[in-house]
Amino acid sequence: MTTLSITEASRSGLSALVAAAEEGHDTALSRHGKVVAEVVSAQEIARLRQDRETLRDAALVMARFATDSGVRTTLDEAMEFFNLDRAELEAENAEEAKSADS
């Protein structure tokens, strides 16, 4: 990868930086000796974004595996825990459905 100062990049022109990126040559841009940006092709950015999504999904799966105790709760158990009655919920749902149809 080529590294140019902002001033050098400005002298070479935006067209040259874009052409280099399209050919697969990434260019790092530095200010005061520190890289602050990179010019890369749209294909490279698309690959990086896809990789980021894949890594995010993998991290989520790993977190679920690490925290899953294997215990499952039925709907009836959850309703009992929250002191809910199935008949009351069904009546409430029926009432809401009637209101929505009106």
Domain that holds residue 48: 42-71
For every residue of the chain, DSSP letters joined together read -EEEEHHHHHHH-HHHHHHHHHTT--EEEEETTEEEEEE--HHHHHHHHHHHHHHHHHHHHHHHHHH-------HHHHHHHTT--HHHHHHHHHHHHHHHH-
The overall average pLDDT reported for the chain is 93
Global pTM reads 0.57
Judge if 36 and 12 occupy the same domain: yes
Judge if 10 and 33 occupy the same domain: yes
Judge if 52 and 26 occupy the same domain: no
Residue 100 has pLDDT above 90, yes or no: no
| pLDDT one-digit tens code per residue, 36-74 | 999 999 999 999 999 999 999 999 999 999 999 888 999
Judge if 9 and 32 occupy the same domain: yes
Domains contained in the chain, number = 3
